[in-house]
A and B are shown apart, each in its own frame.
Chain A
């Protein structure tokens, strides 16, 4: 695959990892919430 296409693939990977981490933050928020 061309380097330009691979750039997009790896930037998407970073985007997914950031999304997973933000999702983890939301889970933590639920877990520490006071009822």
Chain B
């Protein structure tokens, strides 16, 4: 690893930590029950929206009602996105005259964007009209992120309230998350991205002559089935256009990750400069990091939020350094071949395959770990081209359950499920009834936390087993052997943890994969949220227990170490066998 790599990671962490506290405190005010300066400022807009939708903002909801509202709203979102894709050929803002998206791809995409996954089996610039991009996909980027924040806020209220039957109002939380947090931050990030050259227009695609004309050879079937080769002159290229910046801003802030273009944040119109890359990386962790502080303030002890944030960093930083280190070390298969893979003034060194030269190894490795630690899924380099160990890190970060920062809201409520498991284990060690944030943790809470922790793990291993035993599953793989298995495992880990990034090399735009991944995304998102709402509902009904000599402090380094260990042990026990068949086997084959 070079000094340049370390400086980039350090700079990123310093700026991130400087921003999470003000953003977290701001969000705590947004979701506060008592009116304050921020909510009073937006009150007229809020009231107008509630009147329009027929919502009674003062009405409180129990956990079941909250969960049903969340589910119904998002299923309607899936339907709307599906229908828009299927009829986009008859709608305006379609200068390229794209036809209807195929039913299986449309359903996969609709579930993907409504679940905050943004797995894309299609190529944006050759499939979606501008209207579909804006009205279906970008709107869902906002609403799915706001849904995650709403569920988190309800879970936080479950810890904070005493002897209560309700967790707040889903519609109010959803509206406030969108209106006060996501919209203003997206506008700011969008403007910053436009200043760097990210495009935002409604122009038809532009044909331009290439700087250096050339040709390429294609093979085709000629007369009597004979194969013929044909030389095609290359004199012009097509530059895709569109309202990219507005979608890119929220895809990062909302940890959605769905690229406007197929190459996602590796595309120069989506991420043109190292500064835009830094802004995009910052935007991914900003809200998930800030929500830790929001949570701490909502439960009345900011130290609790810092402890969770510290746990996330304790897991994230070593894994980020491991990924960058593996990429900077390069492919072990080349080590004995006198290939100079060292960084120097003339070359980035390491493994630059599939990476953009404007970003280099460090910014690509850091982006890959950020986007998979958070459930963003945007990519600025092709993860399929990472070294075996460099590719293992993003895959395992997803498999940890997307709780290391994780999705907007969903990452933190996932981590809270692990926190409940951690205090339970601590309670078992000393023979005391476990408690967390003043609430006694009993069998019913443990059942919900266990379901939330184990559901994504079960989805990954069961669906990977299904995929590798079905001809349609294996047939989509471009590479044989361990790397091909990694492509399958990565895709299912990505969908089953609502990440959405692709390893690549998997032809996933076929009915089998569209359906399998669609089911994974749906079942990973909503049942897990429901389990956490049930847990919150159960906790809200309890009395607060005073701190005693036997209370395990949950804001100390000891608890941070315990919580990080639980996350890592669950991730390791669940996935080491599968990882051994994929990236670990690939590394051993390359090294020896």
- If A21-B526, A24-B530, A25-B530 touch, does A7 touch B447 (CB 8 Å cutoff)? no
Give the residue name and chain of the A residue nearest to B107 (CB).
A10
Point out the residues of chain A lying under 8 angstroms from B526, CB to CB: 21
Q: Digitize B81-111: 1 where CB-to-A-CB distance is under 8 Å, 0 elsewhere.
A: 0100010000000000000101110110001
Roughly how many angstroms separate A35 CA and B432 CA in the complex, as a whole number? 23
List A residues 1-29 near B (Cβ within 8 Å). Answer: 3, 6-7, 9-11, 13-14, 17-18, 20-22, 24-25, 28-29
Determine if B75 is an interface residue (Cβ-Cβ < 8 Å). yes
Roughly how many angstroms separate A28 CA and B574 CA in the complex, as a whole number? 24
Give the residue name and chain of the B residue nearest to A16 (CB).
B519
- If A14-B78, A14-B107, A31-B447 touch, does A25 touch B64 (CB 8 Å cutoff)? yes
Give the residue name and chain of the B residue nearest to A24 (CB).
B527
Point out the residues of chain A lying under 8 angstroms from B518, CB to CB: 13
Shortest Cβ distance from residue B541 to the other chain A in the assembled complex, whole angstroms = 8
> Quick check: A31 and B86 within 8 Å, CB to CB?
no
Shortest Cβ distance from residue A25 to the other chain B in the assembled complex, whole angstroms = 5
From the candidates B67, B103, B451, B534, name the one contacting A10 in the complex (CB within 8 A).
B103
Point out the residues of chain A lying under 8 angstroms from B519, CB to CB: 13, 17
Q: Digitize B508-526: 1 where CB-to-A-CB distance is under 8 Å, 0 elsewhere.
A: 0000000100110011001
From the candidates B68, B79, B444, B447, name the one contacting A25 in the complex (CB within 8 A).
B68
Roughly how many angstroms separate A21 CA and B451 CA in the complex, as a whole number? 13
Roughly how many angstroms separate A13 CA and B518 CA in the complex, as a whole number? 10
Determine if B537 is an interface residue (Cβ-Cβ < 8 Å). yes
Count of A-B contacts judged by CB separation below 8 Å: 70
> Quick check: B447 and A20 within 8 Å, CB to CB?
no
Shortest Cβ distance from residue A6 to the other chain B in the assembled complex, whole angstroms = 4
Determine if B419 is an interface residue (Cβ-Cβ < 8 Å). no
> Quick check: A28 and B75 within 8 Å, CB to CB?
no
Roughly how many angstroms separate A32 CA and B531 CA in the complex, as a whole number? 10
- If A6-B104, A9-B103, A32-B535 touch, does A14 touch B86 (CB 8 Å cutoff)? no
> Quick check: A31 and B522 within 8 Å, CB to CB?
no
Point out the residues of chain B lying under 8 angstroms from A13, CB to CB: 107, 515, 518-519
How many B residues, CB 8 Å from partner?
Answer: 35
Give the residue name and chain of the A residue nearest to B522 (CB).
A17
Determine if B304 is an interface residue (Cβ-Cβ < 8 Å). no
Determine if B448 is an interface residue (Cβ-Cβ < 8 Å). yes
Determine if B554 is an interface residue (Cβ-Cβ < 8 Å). no
Point out the residues of chain B lying under 8 angstroms from A31, CB to CB: 444, 447-448, 534
From the candidates B75, B445, B531, B537, name the one contacting A18 in the complex (CB within 8 A).
B75
Roughly how many angstroms separate A29 CA and B82 CA in the complex, as a whole number? 31
Shortest Cβ distance from residue A35 to the other chain B in the assembled complex, whole angstroms = 10
Shortest Cβ distance from residue A15 to the other chain B in the assembled complex, whole angstroms = 9
Determine if B578 is an interface residue (Cβ-Cβ < 8 Å). no
Point out the residues of chain B lying under 8 angstroms from A17, CB to CB: 519, 522-523
Shortest Cβ distance from residue B253 to the other chain A in the assembled complex, whole angstroms = 27
Roughly how many angstroms separate A26 CA and B453 CA in the complex, as a whole number? 19
Determine if B71 is an interface residue (Cβ-Cβ < 8 Å). yes
Point out the residues of chain A lying under 8 angstroms from B444, CB to CB: 31-34
Roughly how many angstroms separate A28 CA and B17 CA in the complex, as a whole number? 37
Determine if B538 is an interface residue (Cβ-Cβ < 8 Å). yes
- If A6-B104, A21-B523 touch, does A28 touch B71 (CB 8 Å cutoff)? no
> Quick check: A32 and B103 within 8 Å, CB to CB?
no
> Quick check: A29 and B103 within 8 Å, CB to CB?
no
From the candidates B79, B82, B103, B527, name the one contacting A21 in the complex (CB within 8 A).
B527
Between A and B, 7 residue pairs with Cβ closer than 8 Å are A10-B104, A17-B522, A18-B75, A25-B534, A28-B531, A29-B534, A31-B448
With A20-B523, A21-B530 already in contact, 6 other A-B pairs whose C-beta atoms are closer than 8 Å: A21-B523, A25-B530, A28-B531, A31-B444, A32-B538, A33-B444
Q: Which 6 A/B pairs are nearest by Cβ-Cβ distance?
A: A6-B103, A28-B534, A10-B107, A32-B538, A32-B444, A24-B527
Contact surface of A with B, Cβ cutoff 8 Å: 3, 6-7, 9-11, 13-14, 17-18, 20-22, 24-25, 28-29, 31-34
